[in-house]
Amino acid sequence: MSLDDRVAGISCREVLAQLGDYQDGGLAANARAALEAHVGACANCAAFGGAYGGLVARLRERLTPRDLDAERAARLAARLAQDE
C-alpha cells in the first residue's frame, strides 16, 4: 500500500496533486473521470483518514447516485419485472 499504487490509471499521489483543481472544477473531463474512478475503487484513498479521508468519503457519496441514473434505474426495474 503506497501512494504510488495505480488504480484506474493514476496513482494516489497524482490524485492528491489534482484534488485542488478537481474541487475548483479546473480538471479536464478525462482527468476528472480518472480521478473519480480512482477514488471510487482505491482502498488506499479510503484508508488515508483525516481531512483527505473525509473528502474521499464525500466524493464517493456524490458519485454513487450517478452510477444509477433514472434511465438505467427504469431499465433495471423493467427487467426485474419481466423476470417475475
- Contacts with Zn ion in 4-33 (CB under 5 A)? 12
Q: Is 59 in the site for Zn ion (CB under 5 A)?
A: no
Helix 12-24 to helix 50-67 angle (10° resolution) is 70
- Tell me how far, at minimum, the Cβ of 34 lies from Zn ion, in Å: 11
Instruction: List, in order, residues 6 or more apart from 38 with CB less than 8 Å away.
Output: 7, 8, 9, 10, 12, 15, 45
Which SS3 state, helix, strand or coil, does residue 3 take? Answer: coil
Among 44, 46, 52, 60, binds Zn ion (CB under 5 A): 44
| Stretch of 27-35, 44-52, 58-66, 74-82 lying at the interface with Zn ion (CB under 5 A) | 44-52
Binding site for Zn ion (CB under 5 A): 12, 42, 44-45
